């Protein structure tokens, strides 16, 4: 594929799909080849700017349509890469057909993120264990560029990470990879997300009267992103506790993570470790020792911000990781993956 390869986005009406459209339409290397935007097969075509009026500009966005999805349309338009901003079950159904047709896929759902059946069980996929699903799972690359950059470049199927998982994995991976963390003490991840993390479909939990002026924990010991933490950080379930919370804000994630070190370290050593690990990662920002990120610094950006505080004895470390759940936690990371697949600079169109 080249920088002017034709892409298509299915599921553009949702929050992540909206951000994906915004980034792709303003991408400096892709603007001359705007994506094809797709809706349900039984839907009527409608203007993109009717669904997302803020995308209206003077560069032709008024003419862009959200068209009914069909494989024939993708073939006739020469689509080479397909973004799926669709529910897990729908992505599970569509990916086999897309790969059969020679498309490369970036899937923003959780359909293909997990390698181990025990971790996938939470999704209750109807095709679990089938020969087709098993074969496709072996092709899927976990779409976190900071960990799997080389594999993503050549992948046919990229499984975009979850938003909570991105904030926690990026914060912990350098420490675990260096062997610094004493996992016998357990790792605690206390994560908080804005309401958009629950998706666009309304529910009692995301209703204004429930979410406003409130803070609540949910899915304790049962959140879907837990399996991603276990697999990508190579941890056992009894070595980490992850608890998500709902913040009364539209968007953004803040994860506070507590670890014990095997041996004492100095703040300068911790900071140097993070900076070395992410030296080639333009969308991760490391804060100086004892300076912590906040949601307001990373919201509406494609960065993941990481900071830490170290106890006086050098053994206990509190890490704070912040990102925008719709950008670095979803659409921004998807475009970061696309850039790698197209041979473009990783942060092109994202900073």
pLDDT band of 167, cuts 50, 70, 90: very high
Among candidate residues 270, 325, 319, the one with its CA nearest the CA of residue 298: 325
Region 206-222 average pLDDT: 91
Q: What pLDDT, in 10s, does the model give residues 272-302?
A: 999 999 999 999 999 999 999 999 999 999 9
Helix or strand (DSSP H, E) at 183: none
User: According to the model, what pLDDT value does residue 183 have?
Assistant: 97
Domain range summary for the chain, segments of one domain joined by +: 6-161+329-342, 163-326
Residue 180 has pLDDT above 80, yes or no: yes
Distance of CA 294 to the CA centre of its chain: 19
Pairing label, strands 79-84, 140-142: unpaired
Residue 241 has pLDDT above 90, yes or no: yes
Region 217-244 average pLDDT: 96
Residue 51 bridge partners (DSSP): none
Pairing label, strands 316-323, 79-84: unpaired
Among candidate residues 173, 191, 156, 161, the one with its CA nearest the CA of residue 332: 161
The fold for domain 163-326 equals Dihydrodipicolinate Reductase; domain 2 (3.30.360)
Q: Report d(CA 219, CA 191) in Å as an integer.
A: 12
Region 107-127 average pLDDT: 96
pLDDT band of 106, cuts 50, 70, 90: very high
User: According to the model, what pLDDT value does residue 1 have?
Assistant: 61
Count of Cβ atoms closer than 10 Å to residue 242 Cβ: 24
User: According to the model, what pLDDT value does residue 93 have?
Assistant: 97
In sequence order, what E strands does the chain have?
6-10, 36-39, 46-47, 65-68, 79-84, 104-107, 140-142, 157-159, 187-193, 216-217, 240-246, 253-260, 284-286, 304-310, 316-323
The fold for domain 6-161+329-342 equals Rossmann fold (3.40.50)
Helices (H), the chain: 15-26, 48-51, 71-76, 88-100, 117-120, 131-139, 145-153, 163-177, 208-211, 226-233, 267-277, 295-298, 332-342
pLDDT band of 33, cuts 50, 70, 90: confident
Q: Which 3 state secondary structure label does DSSP give 274?
A: helix
**Which residue numbers are catalytic?**
163
The two tokens of residue 238 are 């009894």
- Are residues 226 and 242 in contact, defined by beta-carbon separation less than 8 angstroms? yes
Distance of CA 178 to the CA centre of its chain: 24
- Are residues 330 and 83 in contact, defined by beta-carbon separation less than 8 angstroms? no
């Amino acid at each position: 594929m080249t920088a002017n390869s034709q892409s298509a986005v299915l599921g553009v009406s949702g929050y992540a799909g909206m951000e994906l459209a915004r980034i792709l339409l303003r991408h400096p290397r892709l603007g001359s080849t705007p994506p094809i935007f797709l809706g349900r097969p039984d839907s009527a075509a409608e203007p993109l700017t009717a669904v997302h009026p803020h995308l209206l500009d003077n560069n032709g966005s008024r003419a862009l349509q959200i068209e009914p999805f069909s494989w024939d349309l993708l073939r006739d338009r020469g689509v080479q890469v397909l973004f799926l901003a669709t529910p897990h079950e729908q992505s599970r159904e569509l990916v086999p057909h897309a790969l059969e047709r020679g498309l490369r896929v970036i899937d923003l759902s959780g359909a293909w993120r997990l390698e181990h059946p025990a971790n996938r069980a939470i999704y209750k996929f109807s095709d679990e264990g089938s020969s087709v699903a098993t074969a496709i799972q072996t092709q899927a690359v976990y779409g976190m560029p900071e960990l799997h950059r080389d594999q993503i470049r050549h992948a046919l199927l990229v499984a975009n990470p979850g938003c909570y998982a991105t904030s926690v994995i990026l914060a912990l991976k350098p420490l675990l990879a260096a062997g610094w963390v004493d996992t016998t003490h357990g790792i605690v991840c206390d994560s908080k997300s804005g309401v958009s993390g629950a998706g666009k479909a309304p529910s009692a939990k995301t209703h204004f009267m429930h979410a406003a002026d409130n803070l609540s924990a949910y899915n304790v010991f049962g959140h879907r992103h837990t399996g991603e933490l276990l697999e990508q950080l190579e941890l056992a379930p009894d070595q980490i506790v992850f608890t998500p919370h709902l913040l009364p804000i539209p968007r953004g994630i803040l994860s506070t993570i507590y670890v014990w070190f095997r041996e004492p370290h100095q703040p300068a050593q911790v900071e140097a470790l993070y900076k070395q690990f992410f030296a080639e990662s333009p969308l991760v920002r490391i804060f100086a020792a004892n300076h912590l990120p906040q949601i307001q610094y990373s919201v509406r950006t494609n960065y993941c911000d990481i900071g830490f505080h170290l106890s006086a004895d050098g053994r206990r470390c509190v890490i704070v990781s912040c990102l925008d759940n719709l950008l670095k936690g979803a659409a921004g990371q998807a475009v970061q993956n696309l850039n790698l697949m197209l041979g473009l600079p990783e942060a092109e169109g994202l900073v």
